[in-house]
Amino acid sequence: MALKRNENKESQIDVSKMERTFNNMGYMFKDLTEYCEDFIRFSETSKGPVLEIGAAFGFVSLQVADKGVKIWANDLDSRHLDFLEKKATKAQREFITTVACRFPDESNFPAEFFSAIFSSNVFHFLRGEEITQGIKKMFSWIKPGGKVYITAGTPYAYHWQEFIPIFEEKIKKGLPWPGQIEDFSIFKHNKRLSELPHFFHFFSPQILESAFKKFGFIPEKSGYCSRKNWPKDLRFDGRETAGLVARKPLYSTSSLHKKA
Ligand SMILES: C[S@@+](CC[C@H](N)C(=O)[O-])C[C@H]1O[C@@H](n2cnc3c(N)ncnc32)[C@H](O)[C@@H]1O
Protein backbone atom coordinates (compact mmCIF):
# COMPACT_ATOMS: atom_id res chain seq x y z
CA MET A 1 0.00 0.00 0.00
CA ALA A 2 1.39 3.39 -0.97
CA LEU A 3 1.19 5.31 2.27
CA LYS A 4 1.63 8.57 0.42
CA ARG A 5 -2.12 8.29 -0.30
CA ASN A 6 -2.48 10.23 2.98
CA GLU A 7 -2.24 13.72 1.69
CA ASN A 8 -2.28 16.21 4.51
CA LYS A 9 0.63 16.90 6.83
CA GLU A 10 -1.06 15.83 10.07
CA SER A 11 -1.81 12.37 8.76
CA GLN A 12 1.80 11.92 7.72
CA ILE A 13 2.87 12.14 11.37
CA ASP A 14 1.28 8.82 12.14
CA VAL A 15 1.20 7.39 8.68
CA SER A 16 2.41 3.98 9.81
CA LYS A 17 -0.69 3.65 12.01
CA MET A 18 -3.36 4.37 9.40
CA GLU A 19 -3.99 3.63 5.75
CA ARG A 20 -6.50 5.60 3.73
CA THR A 21 -9.22 3.47 2.14
CA PHE A 22 -9.69 3.46 -1.64
CA ASN A 23 -13.36 4.41 -1.36
CA ASN A 24 -13.06 7.47 0.91
CA MET A 25 -14.43 5.65 3.93
CA GLY A 26 -11.79 6.84 6.33
CA TYR A 27 -8.77 4.80 7.32
CA MET A 28 -7.69 1.36 8.34
CA PHE A 29 -6.15 1.86 11.77
CA LYS A 30 -3.23 -0.19 13.02
CA ASP A 31 -3.34 1.01 16.62
CA LEU A 32 -5.45 -1.79 18.06
CA THR A 33 -8.13 -0.93 20.63
CA GLU A 34 -8.66 -3.24 23.60
CA TYR A 35 -11.88 -4.44 21.89
CA CYS A 36 -9.86 -5.56 18.90
CA GLU A 37 -7.28 -7.28 21.11
CA ASP A 38 -10.13 -9.01 22.99
CA PHE A 39 -11.56 -10.22 19.68
CA ILE A 40 -8.22 -11.67 18.55
CA ARG A 41 -7.77 -13.44 21.93
CA PHE A 42 -11.34 -14.80 21.94
CA SER A 43 -11.01 -16.01 18.34
CA GLU A 44 -7.93 -17.99 19.29
CA THR A 45 -9.80 -19.87 22.00
CA SER A 46 -12.92 -20.41 19.86
CA LYS A 47 -13.64 -23.13 17.34
CA GLY A 48 -14.27 -20.50 14.66
CA PRO A 49 -14.95 -19.49 12.06
CA VAL A 50 -15.09 -15.78 12.88
CA LEU A 51 -16.18 -12.80 10.77
CA GLU A 52 -14.72 -9.32 10.32
CA ILE A 53 -17.14 -6.79 8.82
CA GLY A 54 -15.42 -3.86 7.05
CA ALA A 55 -11.95 -5.40 7.18
CA ALA A 56 -10.41 -2.93 4.68
CA PHE A 57 -6.89 -4.21 3.86
CA GLY A 58 -7.11 -6.91 6.53
CA PHE A 59 -4.77 -5.77 9.28
CA VAL A 60 -6.83 -7.61 11.92
CA SER A 61 -8.05 -10.52 9.78
CA LEU A 62 -4.47 -11.44 8.88
CA GLN A 63 -3.53 -11.56 12.57
CA VAL A 64 -6.44 -13.89 13.29
CA ALA A 65 -5.37 -16.11 10.36
CA ASP A 66 -1.88 -16.20 11.87
CA LYS A 67 -3.39 -17.86 14.94
CA GLY A 68 -4.75 -20.67 12.77
CA VAL A 69 -8.39 -19.54 13.11
CA LYS A 70 -10.70 -19.47 10.08
CA ILE A 71 -11.82 -15.92 9.36
CA TRP A 72 -14.25 -14.50 6.82
CA ALA A 73 -13.06 -11.02 5.89
CA ASN A 74 -15.82 -8.81 4.54
CA ASP A 75 -15.68 -5.38 2.93
CA LEU A 76 -17.98 -3.56 0.54
CA ASP A 77 -15.00 -2.60 -1.64
CA SER A 78 -13.52 -5.60 -3.43
CA ARG A 79 -10.29 -3.64 -4.13
CA HIS A 80 -9.54 -3.71 -0.39
CA LEU A 81 -10.04 -7.46 -0.29
CA ASP A 82 -7.90 -7.99 -3.44
CA PHE A 83 -5.17 -6.12 -1.62
CA LEU A 84 -5.64 -8.30 1.47
CA GLU A 85 -5.40 -11.48 -0.63
CA LYS A 86 -2.21 -10.29 -2.32
CA LYS A 87 -0.66 -9.40 1.03
CA ALA A 88 -1.56 -12.72 2.70
CA THR A 89 1.11 -15.39 2.93
CA LYS A 90 0.33 -18.90 1.71
CA ALA A 91 -0.18 -19.99 5.32
CA GLN A 92 -2.56 -17.09 6.08
CA ARG A 93 -4.55 -17.69 2.89
CA GLU A 94 -5.58 -21.14 4.10
CA PHE A 95 -7.54 -19.51 6.90
CA ILE A 96 -9.08 -16.55 5.05
CA THR A 97 -12.27 -16.35 2.99
CA THR A 98 -12.99 -12.93 1.54
CA VAL A 99 -16.53 -11.76 0.88
CA ALA A 100 -17.21 -8.48 -0.89
CA CYS A 101 -20.67 -7.14 -0.11
CA ARG A 102 -22.39 -4.38 1.76
CA PHE A 103 -23.38 -5.08 5.35
CA PRO A 104 -26.16 -5.62 6.29
CA ASP A 105 -28.44 -5.63 3.24
CA GLU A 106 -26.25 -7.70 0.89
CA SER A 107 -24.66 -9.96 3.48
CA ASN A 108 -26.09 -13.39 4.20
CA PHE A 109 -24.48 -16.19 6.17
CA PRO A 110 -25.88 -19.42 7.61
CA ALA A 111 -27.51 -19.32 11.04
CA GLU A 112 -25.24 -20.05 14.02
CA PHE A 113 -22.15 -20.12 11.80
CA PHE A 114 -19.65 -17.78 13.51
CA SER A 115 -18.05 -17.98 16.97
CA ALA A 116 -17.38 -14.25 16.96
CA ILE A 117 -18.01 -11.16 14.82
CA PHE A 118 -15.79 -8.08 14.81
CA SER A 119 -16.61 -4.75 13.24
CA SER A 120 -14.47 -1.70 13.75
CA ASN A 121 -15.26 1.76 12.40
CA VAL A 122 -18.10 0.63 10.13
CA PHE A 123 -21.24 1.26 12.21
CA HIS A 124 -20.67 5.02 11.95
CA PHE A 125 -21.34 4.80 8.20
CA LEU A 126 -24.74 3.12 8.74
CA ARG A 127 -28.16 4.63 9.39
CA GLY A 128 -30.24 3.57 12.39
CA GLU A 129 -32.46 1.22 10.40
CA GLU A 130 -29.43 -0.49 8.85
CA ILE A 131 -27.94 -0.97 12.30
CA THR A 132 -31.17 -2.57 13.52
CA GLN A 133 -31.21 -4.91 10.51
CA GLY A 134 -27.49 -5.63 10.98
CA ILE A 135 -27.79 -6.53 14.66
CA LYS A 136 -30.67 -8.89 13.89
CA LYS A 137 -28.58 -10.58 11.20
CA MET A 138 -25.55 -10.82 13.48
CA PHE A 139 -27.71 -12.41 16.17
CA SER A 140 -28.77 -15.08 13.72
CA TRP A 141 -25.25 -15.73 12.30
CA ILE A 142 -23.57 -16.12 15.67
CA LYS A 143 -23.42 -19.38 17.62
CA PRO A 144 -25.08 -19.49 21.05
CA GLY A 145 -22.45 -18.24 23.52
CA GLY A 146 -20.59 -16.44 20.70
CA LYS A 147 -19.59 -12.79 20.94
CA VAL A 148 -19.66 -9.56 18.96
CA TYR A 149 -16.89 -6.97 19.22
CA ILE A 150 -17.88 -3.54 17.92
CA THR A 151 -16.15 -0.18 17.84
CA ALA A 152 -17.43 3.04 16.27
CA GLY A 153 -16.67 6.75 16.14
CA THR A 154 -17.82 9.27 18.75
CA PRO A 155 -18.06 13.05 18.40
CA TYR A 156 -15.30 13.33 21.04
CA ALA A 157 -12.67 13.71 18.35
CA TYR A 158 -10.92 16.94 17.36
CA HIS A 159 -12.36 16.97 13.85
CA TRP A 160 -15.97 16.26 14.99
CA GLN A 161 -16.09 18.45 18.11
CA GLU A 162 -18.81 20.84 16.85
CA PHE A 163 -21.29 17.98 17.06
CA ILE A 164 -20.71 17.33 20.80
CA PRO A 165 -23.38 19.77 22.15
CA ILE A 166 -25.91 18.65 19.51
CA PHE A 167 -25.26 14.99 20.36
CA GLU A 168 -25.56 15.56 24.10
CA GLU A 169 -28.77 17.57 23.69
CA LYS A 170 -30.36 14.86 21.53
CA ILE A 171 -29.37 12.22 24.09
CA LYS A 172 -30.91 14.34 26.87
CA LYS A 173 -34.16 14.53 24.89
CA GLY A 174 -34.14 10.75 24.42
CA LEU A 175 -34.19 10.97 20.61
CA PRO A 176 -33.54 7.74 18.70
CA TRP A 177 -30.11 7.47 16.99
CA PRO A 178 -28.92 10.85 18.31
CA GLY A 179 -25.61 10.63 16.45
CA GLN A 180 -26.82 10.87 12.83
CA ILE A 181 -25.69 13.89 10.82
CA GLU A 182 -25.71 14.90 7.15
CA ASP A 183 -25.02 18.61 7.45
CA PHE A 184 -21.23 18.70 7.45
CA SER A 185 -21.13 22.51 7.17
CA ILE A 186 -20.89 22.70 11.00
CA PHE A 187 -17.43 21.09 11.02
CA LYS A 188 -14.83 23.85 11.05
CA HIS A 189 -11.93 21.79 12.44
CA ASN A 190 -12.20 18.91 9.99
CA LYS A 191 -9.54 18.86 7.26
CA ARG A 192 -10.52 15.39 6.09
CA LEU A 193 -14.10 15.78 4.88
CA SER A 194 -13.06 14.89 1.33
CA GLU A 195 -11.88 11.50 2.68
CA LEU A 196 -15.34 10.60 4.05
CA PRO A 197 -18.91 10.02 2.85
CA HIS A 198 -21.36 12.86 3.58
CA PHE A 199 -23.23 11.06 6.29
CA PHE A 200 -21.93 10.12 9.71
CA HIS A 201 -23.44 8.34 12.70
CA PHE A 202 -21.77 8.93 16.07
CA PHE A 203 -22.01 6.52 18.98
CA SER A 204 -21.42 6.33 22.69
CA PRO A 205 -20.83 3.05 24.54
CA GLN A 206 -24.37 3.36 25.99
CA ILE A 207 -25.97 3.69 22.54
CA LEU A 208 -24.13 0.58 21.30
CA GLU A 209 -25.07 -1.32 24.44
CA SER A 210 -28.77 -0.55 24.31
CA ALA A 211 -29.00 -1.27 20.56
CA PHE A 212 -27.53 -4.76 20.99
CA LYS A 213 -29.47 -5.45 24.21
CA LYS A 214 -32.73 -4.72 22.40
CA PHE A 215 -32.18 -7.68 20.09
CA GLY A 216 -31.16 -10.26 22.67
CA PHE A 217 -27.40 -9.76 23.13
CA ILE A 218 -26.01 -9.58 26.67
CA PRO A 219 -23.49 -6.72 26.98
CA GLU A 220 -20.31 -7.84 28.73
CA LYS A 221 -18.14 -4.76 28.44
CA SER A 222 -18.47 -1.28 26.97
CA GLY A 223 -16.55 1.96 27.20
CA TYR A 224 -14.53 4.62 25.47
CA CYS A 225 -11.10 3.99 23.96
CA SER A 226 -8.42 6.62 23.92
CA ARG A 227 -6.63 6.86 20.55
CA LYS A 228 -3.27 8.18 21.71
CA ASN A 229 -1.60 7.22 18.45
CA TRP A 230 -3.97 9.19 16.26
CA PRO A 231 -2.68 12.40 14.66
CA LYS A 232 -3.37 15.67 16.49
CA ASP A 233 -6.19 16.70 14.17
CA LEU A 234 -8.22 13.61 15.19
CA ARG A 235 -7.30 13.12 18.86
CA PHE A 236 -9.43 14.71 21.59
CA ASP A 237 -10.00 13.77 25.25
CA GLY A 238 -9.60 10.01 25.39
CA ARG A 239 -13.17 9.23 24.25
CA GLU A 240 -12.48 9.07 20.51
CA THR A 241 -13.89 5.55 20.02
CA ALA A 242 -16.85 3.71 21.58
CA GLY A 243 -16.55 -0.04 22.11
CA LEU A 244 -18.77 -2.96 23.02
CA VAL A 245 -18.44 -6.68 23.67
CA ALA A 246 -21.77 -8.53 23.81
CA ARG A 247 -22.64 -12.21 24.01
CA LYS A 248 -25.44 -14.22 22.46
CA PRO A 249 -27.04 -16.24 25.24
CA LEU A 250 -26.82 -20.02 25.10
CA TYR A 251 -30.62 -20.17 25.02
CA SER A 252 -32.18 -17.28 23.14
CA THR A 253 -35.63 -15.73 23.14
CA SER A 254 -36.53 -15.59 19.45
CA SER A 255 -39.65 -13.50 20.24
CA LEU A 256 -37.40 -10.42 20.52
CA HIS A 257 -36.60 -10.74 16.85
CA LYS A 258 -40.16 -11.35 15.72
CA LYS A 259 -41.36 -8.19 17.47
CA ALA A 260 -38.61 -5.84 16.25
C1 LIG B 1 -12.87 3.36 8.39
S2 LIG B 1 -12.48 1.88 7.53
C3 LIG B 1 -12.14 0.83 8.92
C4 LIG B 1 -11.23 -0.31 8.60
C5 LIG B 1 -10.92 -1.21 9.79
N6 LIG B 1 -12.08 -1.97 10.18
C7 LIG B 1 -10.41 -0.39 10.95
O8 LIG B 1 -11.14 -0.17 11.93
O9 LIG B 1 -9.26 0.05 10.90
C10 LIG B 1 -14.09 1.32 7.05
C11 LIG B 1 -14.05 0.10 6.14
O12 LIG B 1 -15.35 -0.49 6.15
C13 LIG B 1 -15.81 -0.67 4.84
N14 LIG B 1 -17.27 -0.49 4.90
C15 LIG B 1 -17.95 0.67 5.11
N16 LIG B 1 -19.27 0.45 5.14
C17 LIG B 1 -19.42 -0.89 4.96
C18 LIG B 1 -20.56 -1.73 4.86
N19 LIG B 1 -21.80 -1.23 4.97
N20 LIG B 1 -20.37 -3.05 4.64
C21 LIG B 1 -19.12 -3.57 4.52
N22 LIG B 1 -18.01 -2.80 4.58
C23 LIG B 1 -18.15 -1.49 4.80
C24 LIG B 1 -15.10 0.37 4.01
O25 LIG B 1 -15.02 -0.01 2.64
C26 LIG B 1 -13.75 0.44 4.70
O27 LIG B 1 -12.85 -0.49 4.17
Q: Which residues form ligand 1's pocket by a CB distance below 6 Å?
A: 21, 23, 25-29, 53-56, 74-77, 80, 102-103, 120-122, 125-126
Separation of 145 CA from ligand 1 center, angstroms? 26
Which pLDDT score is estimated for 252?
63
Ligand 1: centre distance to CA 119 (Å): 8
Instruction: Out of 11, 34, 75, give the residue to mutate to test ligand 1, the one with the largest number of ligand atoms within 8 Å of its CB.
Output: 75
Q: Does residue 16 fall inside a structural domain?
A: no
Question: For 231, which DSSP code?
Answer: -
Tell me, what DSSP letter sits at residue 163?
G
In a domain, 41, yes or no: yes
**Global pTM?**
0.92
The verdict on residue 5 lying in a domain is no
Between CA 168 and CA 248 the distance in angstroms is: 30
19 found inside a domain = no
In a domain, 191, yes or no: no
Residue 253: pLDDT band with limits 50, 70, 90: low
Q: Which residues constitute the domain of residue 58?
A: 35-155+202-259
Is 165 among the domain residues? no
Predicted pLDDT of residue 195: 83
Backbone angles phi, psi at 24, to 5 degrees: 55, 45
pLDDT at 10 over 50: no
- Identify the pLDDT of residue 8: 42
C-beta separation of 51 from 109 below 8 A: yes
Q: How far apart are CA 164 and CA 155, in angstroms?
A: 6
**Domain-located, residue 196:** no
Q: What pLDDT, on a 0 to 100 scale, did the predictor assign at position 53?
A: 98
> From ligand 1's centre to the CA of 123, what distance in Å?
8
* pLDDT of the residue at 6: 40
pLDDT band at 255 (very low <50, low <70, confident <90, very high): low
Residue 35, pLDDT above cutoff 70: yes
Which residue would you say has higher pLDDT here, 222 or 15? 222
* 237 Cα: distance to centroid of ligand 1 (angstroms): 24
What tens digit of pLDDT does each residue of 107-127 get? 999 999 999 999 999 999 999
Answer whether the bond into residue 104 is a cis peptide, omega within 30°. yes
Q: What number is the average pLDDT over the span 242-250?
A: 97
Question: pLDDT tens digit string along 173-205?
Answer: 999 999 999 999 999 988 888 888 889 999 999
Q: How far is the CA of 234 from the centre of ligand 1 (A)?
A: 18
Alpha helices in the chain (DSSP H): 9-13, 34-45, 59-66, 78-87, 90-93, 128-141, 164-172, 205-214, 255-259
Domain presence at residue 48: yes
Nearest one of 239, 251, 253 to 207, comparing CA atoms: 239
Q: Which of 180, 182, 179, 227 is nearest to 206 (CA)?
A: 179
Quick one: pLDDT band at residue 256, thresholds 50, 70, 90?
Answer: low
Q: Give mean pLDDT, residues 76-80.
A: 98
pLDDT value at 153 more than 60: yes
Indicate if the pLDDT at residue 149 is higher than 90: yes
The mean pLDDT value of the chain amounts to: 91
The CATH number of residue 58's host domain is 3.40.50.150
Distances (CA, A) of 119 to 45, 53, 139, 191, 243: 19, 5, 14, 25, 10
Domains in the chain, number: 1
Q: Of 230, 166, 160, whose CA–CA distance to 190 is shortest?
A: 160
What would the pLDDT profile of 210-240 be if each residue is shown by its tens digit?
A: 999 999 999 999 999 999 988 888 899 999 9
Tell me how far apart the alpha carbons of residues 245 and 117 are, in angstroms, rounded to a whole number.
Answer: 10
Cis peptide preceding 49, ω within 30 of 0: yes
Residues above pLDDT 70, as percent of the chain: 90
